[in-house]
Amino acid sequence: MAHHKSAVRQHRRSLRRKAVNTRNTTALRTRMKKLRTAVQNKDQDTARKLLPEVFSSIDRAVKKGTIHKNTGSRYKSRLSRQVGLPGVSPSK
């Protein structure tokens, strides 16, 4: 355990940041899982309705630093391919 005041403060701060990141990551994964389930069940209406919500969650996670910018772009690209948006090349 840390002994210096600054180290103790930094430890508390890291625990708060970890809690925020865990909360954001969990919410993002849950939304992505719902979208993937809709795609697997071939429910195009639900998938197209959920896609903007998932994109918003991804952008929020990138903005807060929970995930990297390129990771967010990769997620968005793959999800839009799975949903089958026009203008997006199909998966290989």
CATH code, domain carrying 37: 1.20.58.110
Identify the pLDDT of residue 61: 94
Any domain includes 22: yes
Residues 6 or more apart whose CB falls under 8 angstroms from that of 71 comprise: 62
Any domain includes 88: no
Any domain includes 29: yes
Any domain includes 31: yes
Residue by residue, pLDDT tens for the chain (92 residues) are 778 999 999 999 999 999 999 999 999 999 999 999 999 999 999 999 999 999 999 999 999 999 999 999 999 999 999 998 765 555 55
CB distance 62 to 72 below 8 Å: yes
Any domain includes 90: no
Question: Which among 26, 11, 21 is positioned nearest to 63, based on CA atoms?
Answer: 21
Any domain includes 92: no
How many other C-beta atoms lie within 10 A of the C-beta of residue 71? Answer: 13
Residue range of the domain that includes 70: 5-83
- Report the number of distinct structural domains present in the chain: 1
Q: What's the pTM value of the predicted model, to 2 decimals?
A: 0.79
